[in-house]
Amino acid sequence: MYGPDLARRTFDLGNRIMAALGPADKNGQCGIFESEQLAEELIGVVNELIEFVIAEGHVPTRIQLLNEHVADLRSIIQEEIRAALKEYLSGTAQQSTRNVPDAP
């Protein structure tokens, strides 16, 4: 199991990760890799790593920031809906009092 095949895969993955973590050059190359292709090759590994980290009880910083942003947006949307509903109900109440016939 820990033979040359594993060593080769480990080197290849490590090489790709190190290239991705470095800056791209002016031609979009990350080391010897084209950045877009490198991203496509690494997405599966990144997803597996994120799942591993979360399963171990940690939340990656970027995911935490996105969760907070979504929570903020949800709060803003709820406030807007409440204000619109209050305005609508206020207008409906005023309209219904105008349609009440006068008592005989």
Each residue's pLDDT tens digit, 47-99: 999 999 999 999 999 999 999 999 999 999 999 999 999 998 887 766 665 55
User: Higher model confidence: residue 62 or residue 1?
Assistant: 62
Would you say 88 and 81 are in contact if contact means Cβ atoms under 8 Å apart? Answer: no
Domain ranges of the chain: 1-58, 59-98
CA distance 79 to 73: 10
Tens digit of pLDDT for each residue in 10-33? 999 999 999 999 999 999 899 999
Distance in angstroms (rounded) separating the CA atoms of residues 46 and 2: 23
- The pLDDT of residue 69 is 96
Longest dimension (CA), the chain: 100
Claim: this prediction has a pTM higher than 0.75:
no
Measured CA to CA, the distance from residue 92 to residue 95 in angstroms comes to 5
CA–CA separation, 77 and 70 (whole Å) = 10
